[in-house]
Structure 1
Amino acid sequence: MHVANRIQALKEELDRMGVKLIAVSKTKSPEDILEAYQAGQRAFGENVVQELIGKQEVLPKDIEWHLVGHLQTNKVKYIAPFISLIHSADSLKLLKEINKHAQKHQRMIDCLLQVHIASEDTKFGLDHVELIELLRTDELAALRHVRIRGLMGIATNTPNQKEIKEEFRELKTLFDGIKASFFNDAPYFDTLSMGMSADYKIAVEQGSNMVRLGSTIFGER
C-alpha cells in the first residue's frame, strides 16, 4: 500500500472523528514527503531542527510544519520564521525564547505544553504541579507572541494497553481542567495532541484531536 493510499484512508478515518493528522516525516526524504503532499496531506512533523530546516527550504511553501521533538532554546531562532506549531514546550525559559524570536519576525507562534504522562523517566515534559505553576505565572501571561493552544503527551512505550489508556485518559482530564480554569474565555485553547502510530486509536478513544503518525503512513524505517 503506497503512501498516498495510506494517507487518504487515514485522513478519511480521522476526519470523520474530527482529528487532525500530523504526518511525522523525520528521517524521510523530501520525495517521500512530496508523495504524501500530493495525496492531500499538508501538516508534517519533524523532531530534529536541522532536518526540518533543510526540508522546509526545498518543499512547497504551503506545508504546515510542526516541531514534535524536544526543542533546545538555542535552536528556536532557526524555526521561528515559519513554524506552525511547537508541540514540545516544556519550560518558561523555552517559551520566553520562542516569544523573543516570534517578536523579531512579527508573528505569533502557537505552542502546546508537553506534559510528562509516561512511566519512563526518559521522556520530556512538565509534571502536573509544574504545569499549574507555569500557567499561574505572570511571566507567561506577559508573553505576547506565544499562544498556548493546548497540551501534548507521549504514553509509555508498552504493550499494556490498559496502562496507555489510563495515561491518555489522565491527560484528557487534565486538559479539560486546565481549559476550565485558565482558558475558559479562550477559544484557541483547543488542541490535545496525543497518540502515535502504535497507540493513536486508544488516544482518539480517550479524546485526542491531533495524532502524530509516522510508520503508519510511511512504513517502518
Structure 2
Amino acid sequence: MAAPAVEGAAVVALRSVMTRVRQAAERSGNIADRVRVVAVSKTKPVSLIRQVYEAGHRCFGENYVQEILEKAPQLPEDIEWHFIGHLQSNKVKSLLTGVPNMAMIEGVDNEKMANHLDRAVSSLGRNPLKVCVQVNTSGEASKSGIDPSGCVELVKHVKLHCPNLEFSGLMTIGMPDYSSTPENFKTLSNCRTEVCKALGMMEEQCELSMGMSGDFELAIEMGSTNVRVGSTIFGPREYPKKQSN
C-alpha cells in the first residue's frame, strides 16, 4: 500500500487560514461561506499555485500585469483571478485579453480607469466584469485609491455609466504596520453605509475587501467579505527583479 502523499507547506497553511477565517466569521456572527479568501500568489511559481489549486482552492490574486499574463495561461481555466491594486490604463486591454477568466478587478480608483475597463470589456464581448472601488482609507500619498469623500460619486459613475462593469464593493489597503487598521476598516465600512444609502442598495450588495495576512481575522470581525492572504499561505515573497504594473 502506497504511503499517503505529504501535503506541501502552502496547502497546510491554506487549511489553517480557512480554519481561522471560519472562526473569525463565527465570532462576528457572519456566515463563513460568505467570506472569500483570495490567495495572493505574487512572486510565487506556478508549481506552488497548482499545489494550492489541487487542494481545492480556486480564487487567486496577482498585483502585476506581467506576472499574471505569464501565469494564467499555464493554470486551469476555472481559477477565478483577481487583479489587486493600481492598474495602468494602457495595460487594461492586454490584461483582459490574456486572462479571460479574470473574475474581479480590485482597484478602480477613478472615472478614467472605470471608463477604460468598460470599453475594453465591451470590445472583447465578454460578460460584465466585477470591480471593486479602491478607497484610500489611510490618507497616505503613496497609496492608490479615491479619497473617502469621493467614494459615492465614483461608485455612482460605475453603476450608471459603465454598463459592462458590475460594481461589487469597496476595497482598501491598510497601513503596512497595521497600526491604523481598525480605523481604516471602520472608514471603509462607513463608506459602504454612505454608498448604499445614496444608491438605494442593501449592504449585502456591497462587498468589503479588506484584510491581508497580518490582519484578516480582525477585518472579518469588522465586516470584510473578501480577504487577500499572500505570505501566510505561500511564505515570504521573493523579489528577484523590479516589476511594474
TM-score norm. by structure 1 comes to 0.91
2:208 — aligned with what? 192
| Residues 52-104 of structure 1 deviation map (CA, whole Å, 9 limit, x = unaligned) | 01111111111100001210111110222421100000111111111111112
**What count of residue pairs does the alignment treat as equivalent?**
217
Q: How does 1:44-193 map to 2 (within 5 A)?
A: 44-81=60-97, 82=100, 83-106=102-125, 107-137=127-157, 141-160=160-179, 163-184=180-201, 189-193=205-209
Distance 2:130 2:200 in 1: 15
Q: Output the CA distance in 1 between the equivalents of 2:178 and 2:63.
A: 24
Letter in 1 for 2:90: N
Higher relative contact order (CA 8 A, sep 6+): 2
Counterpart AA for 1:151: L
Q: CA deviation at 1:129?
A: 2.3
2:231 matched residue in structure 1: 215
Normalization by structure 2: what TM-score?
0.82
Q: Which has the larger radius of gyration?
A: 2
Contact 2:137 2:148 survives alignment (8 Å): no
What is the CA RMSD across the aligned residues, in angstroms? 1.9
1:112–1:152 contact (8 Å) kept in structure 2: yes
2:177 counterpart SS class: coil
Distance 1:12 1:201, change over 3 A: closer
The 3-state SS of whatever aligns with 1:95 is: helix
Distance change >3 Å, CA 186–CA 104, structure 1 → 2: farther
Give aligned-pair identity as a percent: 34
Contact map agreement 1:14 1:20 (CA 8 A) in 2: no
- 1:74 to 1:2, Cα distance in 2 relative to 1, 3 A: same
Confirm whether residue 204 of structure 1 aligns to residue 220 of structure 2: yes
- Structure 1 counterpart of 2:17, one-letter code: L
